[in-house]
Amino acid sequence: MSNPADELDHGTPRPDRTGQAEAFDAIGERYDEAFPHKEGQVAAAEWLVGSLPAGSRALDLGCGTGLPTAGQLAAAGVEVVGVDLSDGMVKLARAHVPGGVFHQADIADLRPGGPLDLGRFDAVTAFFSLLMLPRDEIPLALRTVRHLLVPQGLFALSMVEADVDDFEIPFLGNSIRVSGYLRDELREVVEAAGFEILEESSYSYAPAAADIQPEVQIFLRCRRHA
């Protein structure tokens, strides 16, 4: 019997994300200046580093500037591949993490049968990137992550706790669209995509930028079911 988490919708048309890409092209390094404290993210990547055998491959989905995560993984000897929608972010990631391989692509491009086939990974990180999708795409993106992982592969996810769908917000002088869930619903969506949640942690966070509201960040450490 097939696992529902294996069923991916190949027919969904490629979404137009021009606005999101242009916003992050314009934001560039200012993203890291606005979010200088990344303890939860660093701790989650540290968990991966401590759990992965030598020679492992990891994918950083929505890698942004490559810092801290892709850099942290590469410095620990993990073979890192990063993907980001924003060409400007990909250029920064290449400059910050010369040991990594970075692609300008949409998460949707990684669906099975999609234009970018990167093979399988021992671990995937998606820190504050799946929240850039409309809600109806997030379960599909999670099933794509599952597909990209080897059985028992590790997945570190962070989201902002918020009951919103494709909601436009001001962000560092630009407009972006974001989605989110309340904690219990987020857990349900992640588990339904074929993951076991090993650990959850959360942080109250006041970004160092006037136009971003304080937020609660949720970090989930997950393992792909076999």
Give the binding site for ligand SAM (CB under 6 A).
17, 20, 24, 31, 41, 62-64, 83-86, 89, 106-107, 127-129, 132-133
CB atoms within 10 A of CB 6: 11
Smallest separation (angstroms) from ligand SAM to the CB of 145: 12
Based on CB atoms, which residue is closest to ligand SAM, 31 or 102?
31
CB atoms within 10 A of CB 211: 12
CB atoms within 10 A of CB 177: 19
Based on CB atoms, which residue is closest to ligand SAM, 2 or 204?
204
Residue nearest to ligand SAM (CB): 64
Q: Alpha carbon of 3 to those of 122, 146, 162: distances in Å?
A: 20, 12, 29
Smallest separation (angstroms) from ligand SAM to the CB of 89: 4
CB 178 within 8 A of CB 167: yes
Smallest separation (angstroms) from ligand SAM to the CB of 133: 6
Based on CB atoms, which residue is closest to ligand SAM, 105 or 149?
105
Based on CB atoms, which residue is closest to ligand SAM, 56 or 86?
86
Based on CB atoms, which residue is closest to ligand SAM, 107 or 186?
107
Smallest separation (angstroms) from ligand SAM to the CB of 1: 32
Strand partners, 46: none
Q: Alpha carbon of 157 to those of 1, 59, 87, 130: distances in Å?
A: 28, 12, 23, 9
The closest of 84, 38, 44 to 62, measured between CA atoms, is 84
3-state DSSP assignment of residue 2:
coil
Smallest separation (angstroms) from ligand SAM to the CB of 84: 5
